[in-house]
A and B are shown apart, each in its own frame.
Chain A
Amino acid sequence: MEVSDVFRIFAGVFSVVGLGLCLWLARVDFSKIPAERKVHLGVATLTGLAFFKLLALAALFAVPVVALGAANYHTIEGVHGVESCNRCHVMTPMVTDMRDPGSETLAARHFKNGWIPKDQCFQCHSDYGLAGDLRAKMEGYRHLARYTTGTYEEPIKFRGVFHNDNCLKCHAGTPKFVAVPSHATVQGRLAENSLSCLNCHGRAHPTREQRTPGHPDYTRLIGGDE
């Protein structure tokens, strides 16, 4: 089990406990707590009122803050996974194709050969560093907005510029990369994204034509993962 999963389970349990605590506290009449009632908490002894005030503080502030943090963590980390992208059916053709050992797209070749061990979508679609992660999240949010409002059309089209950094962060400087003389002479163009790696190295995903409803490949691609 990975750390993120442990954290997620812990946060889930914590949220449920917090919610139960809130509901329970809502039924407590603070004015009717006897002043003489003492609560023993191992090393300390509190008056009943102080104890319930502390519980209220936890229920109203501490638990929500931790739960919110956990939820955000879940959002930020959880959406790195391929499954997260695959939740929108317009992305399913990309995922199906990537997992198809008979496919020749770049995504499928990277997947099949295990070149990217996990979070395959995210690894190639986030630019380098924290800002890249943030940009990917922003783009993901835009996709989510489009998807939930139904303001998209199939086949979806990549907008903007696919940054070569996504390729270069692994490939630049490798012996195979350096062995190609033109990589050096087009380095500036690669860096400024005016020349795409994909030109010589092929398509990353199924074509738009294949992703258009009605195309013979569409049903297979949209049919799901298995």
Chain B
Amino acid sequence: MTEPTPETTPPAAPESLYRREFLWAMGGLGAATAAAFAGWGGLELMVPPGTADEWHKSTCRFCGTGCTIRVGMRDGEVVDIRGHEDGHNKGVICVKGTMLRSLPKIEGRLTTPMIRKNGELVPASWDEALDLIAGKFKEVRDAHGPDALAFYGSGQLFTEESYTANKLFKAGLRTNNVDGNPRLCMASAAAGYVTVFGKDEPPGSYEDIDHADFFFIFGANPYDCHPPLWERVQRRRALRREAFVVCVDPRRSETAKRSDLHLPVIAGTDLLLLNAMAQVIIADGLTDKAFIDRNVRFSHDGNTIDLAAFGALLAEYTPEKVESRLGIGADLIRHVAHRFAKSKASMSLWTMGVNQRTQGTRLNIMLNALHLLTGHICRPGATPFSVTGQPNACGGVRDTGSLSHALPAGRVVANPEHRAEVEKLWGVESGTISPNPGHHAVSLFRAMESGQVKAALIMCTNPGQSMPDSDRYAAAMEKCFTVVSEIVADSETAKAASVLLPAALWVEKQGVLGQGERRYQLVDKLLEPPGECRSDLWMLVELAKRLGLDRLIKAHTPQAVWDEWRQFSAGSAYDFSGMSYDRLRALPGLQWPCPTEQHPGTARRFVEGSDPLVKPGMGVQFYGHKDNRAHIPFCPYVPSPEQPSPEFPLYLTTGRVLEQWHTGTMTGRITELRDAAGPARFTVSAVDASRRGVESGDMIVVTSRFGDVQGRAVIDADMRPGLMFAAFYDARLLVNKVVADHVDPVSREPEYKLTAVQFRKAGA
């Protein structure tokens, strides 16, 4: 810049100078702004792309928690899975759900139909396979009657599939031999709910965990088996100091280790605990009298009795009288009963430790009864809750009545009115549905063994590994014409198949899953299945056509079946007619009852204002029974038929581990899960091991009255003497070979949790 001299400067000069400086300044400002915007633009471009290009709402394929998830897709493949933050699970899933991304691409997928010829399974076309099945089914029906046919389904089929199979067999082929793996899993829970409330399925929701102050975790191990639920319990404890967790389990499970109080009852005696708690609650005046007077009915041997008489019946279950058999001191029983009754809101959570028992129905009844006696029900946080094991045992099987004694929406085969209603709804002539209940699971496989059942269709389940006394029933399948719809060719069930049908799985097909809290969620198809794989619905529809039953099975797409079933439910206590596919697609699921397309769904059942089926002014209405009361029959303790003896002095109990699910057909083929769980092993106590000269890592032979099995032993310092444990996910340790197949007299669910066994070092 030149220094202007004041004497010679013309008057205009300062102005031009100011303009120039102004322009400079503006230019500078412009450049700075441009740089700022360029920087911003550059940074916008530098944001890394997400892990997936598009995200779809879906539902986890594994356990009955039924977590809502987001499926991330890129280039037509599933590349990421996230918990859905708006789902009931609030974004939390477990490692199994996280690894769903690998499920469609597991090794060994069965991609073509196979037919057994000269003892070997050889590839075949769909037409060949379906014609063979239809021909064989007709031949068996004509020669031996419809009850020589059977369907064995799964709590993992979509609802549309179970509903169609149920209709095809019960109204089309006219046999009630329709059962499935939910019989092995939650039949006792269903029987308990039906006895107590008149209708199946839990009254509460997972949301109750956020409000409960006392958790009674009974015969359940949510840390391993329902991790998102356990995480929710943990969060409640973190927020609420008063929250107290009691875990009742003969084994010191991962859940027991993390609970405030572990009651290690002697295996098989836990009904004594429930009866003793009921006795204490009544004797110590901890009952909610007003609630009982209005809402509860007691009975004994079919006769209605009052609370005092019910209390008197429990006199033989005082804590002092049961403590030595139960293995829990009387004071502790009293303490827990008082805590249960006096907490602001008590929630019970139970699963297979209760259901898979010869006393399963009674245990379920008494768990519900503790809540009714104390009024810990129908309030936020106060509820009995049977947690389920499979993603669609509730919606797909229990609600559609796809069990041998049942018909859709809470009806039963044995009731002529129910049969007539269903015949009318299905548009079939009166008398089509057989009045005889079909074979329940264990009975069905025995019927295959005896030759009563000659042809069976098995879908989406692995009874070759999951049935108790599994060697016996795997052999039974081989005696029968067994059609198996499977995802792999080498499962224990596939090995016994006469015909193998390659099934699409999870997001390779479309349908609805109904999890443990009455929530129905839509799984949309996102992928084409590999090879010749087809949905189970497609198989059933094609089979119906070949059996000449296409007039009955008119709905051929998932949505058409859903709409038929939705209309069917209208007016029943299971009414979900307000759940269209569109709504289910838009929302993270809906809980029934949900009778209109405007209804938000029902979180708390039997409660006015939440449940649309409760009459205004009733407050609480247990409408499942005609007298609007919940029903508590007296449930005496009956010891299990499996009792330790000098020959079999130990109890074996079975279960699951966190990273594996059920028989491991899926999770056992996903590297991250398989390696995390490692091979299955027998967990034994140090005392029992040393008495037999067994050290950790040794191979042992476990024998029971049902067979023997060899596996590696691990000594667990927390295992009590007299008890041993094995998970059933590993086909290399088929623990069910030795597991007893006694069933509950009401629910017909087998007693997986209790087998008297002996073990010895292998080779000794």
Contact = CB atoms under 8 A, between A and B. Distances in A.
A38 interface: no
B86 interface: yes
B321 interface: no
B79 interface: yes
Contacts of B227: 200
A182 B673 contact: yes
Contact of A200 (B39, B90, B98, B677): B98
Contacts of B37: 145
A138 B671 CA distance: 38
A181 B51 contact: no
Contacts of B676: 181-182, 184-186
B5 to A, nearest CB: 13
Contacts of B86: 207-209
Given A184-B676, A185-B672, A199 B93 contact: yes
Interface string A167-194: 0000000000000011011100100011
A198 interface: yes
Interface stretch (B41-49, B284-292, B351-359, B609-617): B41-49
In which size bucket is the chain B interface?
35 or more
B678 A196 contact: no
Interface stretch (B144-152, B231-239, B552-560, B713-721): B231-239
A123 B37 CA distance: 27
A202 B91 CA distance: 6
Nearest to B85: A207
B140 interface: no
Contacts of A185: 671-673, 675-676
B730 interface: no
A196 B678 CA distance: 23
Contacts of B48: 160-161
B50 A141 contact: no
Nearest to A202: B92
Nearest to A103: B239
A202 B80 contact: no
A209 B86 CA distance: 7
A189 B672 contact: yes
Nearest to A187: B672
Contacts, number: 102
B88 to A, nearest CB: 12
B24 interface: no
A160 B227 CA distance: 28
Interface string A147-164: 000000000000111000
Given A181-B678, A182-B95, A184-B676, A196 B44 contact: no
Contacts of A104: 235, 238-239
A195 interface: yes
Nearest to B672: A185
Given A202-B91, A203-B91, A159 B47 contact: yes
B757 interface: no
Interface in A9-46: none
Interface residues of A, number: 30
Interface string B18-58: 00000000000000000011011001101111110000000
Chain A CB count within 10 A is highest, among B43, B82, B231, B659, for B43
Given A161-B50, A182-B672, A185-B673, A199 B36 contact: no
A182 B239 contact: no
Given A161-B51, A207-B86, A141 B40 contact: yes
Given A160-B47, A181-B676, A198 B83 contact: yes
A194 B80 contact: yes
Contact of A182 (B47, B83, B659): B659
A186 B44 CA distance: 31
Given A104-B238, A182-B676, A200-B93, A142 B43 contact: yes
B579 interface: no
B81 interface: yes
Given A199-B83, A207-B85, A193 B51 contact: yes
Contacts of A201: 92, 231
B104 to A, nearest CB: 16
Contacts of B677: 181
A193 B80 CA distance: 10
A201 B81 CA distance: 14
Contacts of A145: 36-37, 40, 43
24 contacts: A102-B239, A104-B235, A104-B238, A138-B43, A142-B44, A160-B47, A181-B659, A181-B676, A186-B95, A186-B99, A186-B672, A194-B51, A196-B80, A196-B98, A199-B81, A199-B83, A200-B95, A202-B90, A202-B91, A203-B90, A207-B85, A207-B91, A208-B85, A209-B86
Across chains A and B, which 8 residue pairs bring their CB atoms closest together, nearest first? A182-B676, A145-B40, A181-B676, A185-B672, A142-B43, A203-B91, A185-B676, A182-B95
